[in-house]
Amino acid sequence: MRFRMLGTGHGECKIKRAVLKDFRRHGGVLVDNKILIDAPCDIFEVADDLGFSDMFDGVSDVIISHSHPSHFSADTVVKLGARKKIRVYATGKVLDLIPDTESIEKIKLSTSQPIEIDGYTLYSMTANHATDIKGEMCLNFVLSRDKAVLYAVDGGGLSFSAWKTMSSLKIDAAIVDCALEVGAYSAASVYHNNLAAAVAMRDTMVSAKIAEPNVKFILTHIPSSRKRQIHDELSGAARGYGMSVAYDGYFFSV
């Protein structure tokens, strides 16, 4: 499985030079050039910045974690559907935000059972996160084919139901948010992780034998709402724990 990280920032980016790794747009991960996880407005700009204007031509399936603008734009989904027919997987609250068109098939996700997507298995799990939409459930995911990859981008620690789902799986890689500053974890900030919280998550996965000690652990959703640069600082700290810090265009495979 091949993963292209698109926007990797959290907050409005104040670093204006696109050549810097601290220049971060909003989220999205492209899997094997055909599955897109999260679809904010910035993904087409990321594709242009990387020189791949045709990056999304092969996308047939779009998975949405929740409705926050850094993860979802109805206009982006409609634009993707204008290129070819697509299937969109999300909770009912998110699907209601997408206009009905013949080119977009809406599929409601459930945390009670996995769903098959063109040879992949998608496990949806409740995330410790919230939006302003009453009753919306935010989601984390495990996407599995020959390997299994955790996508937990937004949410502090993983929910009990997420741990229960993963207990029967072997996680080969994890994409996890690190939206807070480097420093000690605070229980007051339960909707996001910092490095300490991400390390605790990784260590728990290893101790529970959900993952091997050398599991690929990719940090994303990096603070970008301040003018100072953080990538080198965070990368140096994360490297000591065997983790990598993504940047816009970052690529990895499992």
Local structure of 217: helix, strand or coil: strand
User: How many angstroms separate the CA atoms of 25 and 17, rounded?
Assistant: 12
The residues spanned by each domain of the chain are 2-249
- Residue pLDDT, tens place only, 154-175: 887 899 989 999 999 999 999 9
The predicted pLDDT at position 189 comes to 55
The predicted pLDDT at position 182 comes to 63
- Residue pLDDT, tens place only, 60-90: 999 999 999 999 999 999 999 998 999 999 9
User: How many angstroms separate the CA atoms of 100 and 23, rounded?
Assistant: 34
| Sole residue written with tokens 């298995």 | 121
Calculate the dihedral angle through the C-alpha atoms of 240, 244, 246, 249, rounding to the nearest 10 degrees: 130
CATH topology of domain 2-249: Metallo-beta-lactamase; Chain A (3.60.15)
- Residue pLDDT, tens place only, 194-221: 898 899 999 999 999 999 999 999 999 9
Q: What's the chain's Rg over C-alpha atoms?
A: 17
In eight-state DSSP terms, residue 33 is: T
Instruction: Please answer whether residues 16 and 60 qualify as being in contact, where contact means their C-beta atoms are separated by less than 8 angstroms.
Output: no
The predicted pLDDT at position 224 comes to 87
The pTM of this model reads 0.95
| Sole residue written with tokens 């502090």 | 156
Calculate the dihedral angle through the C-alpha atoms of 182, 187, 193, 196, rounding to the nearest 10 degrees: 50
User: How many angstroms separate the CA atoms of 151 and 224, rounded?
Assistant: 20
Mean pLDDT for the stretch of residues 229-236: 92
Nearest Cα residue to 93 out of 56, 66, 61: 66
Q: Which residues pair with 35 in a beta bridge?
A: 31, 61
Measured at the CA of 187, the angle between CA 182 and CA 189, to 5 degrees, comes to 60
In eight-state DSSP terms, residue 39 is: B
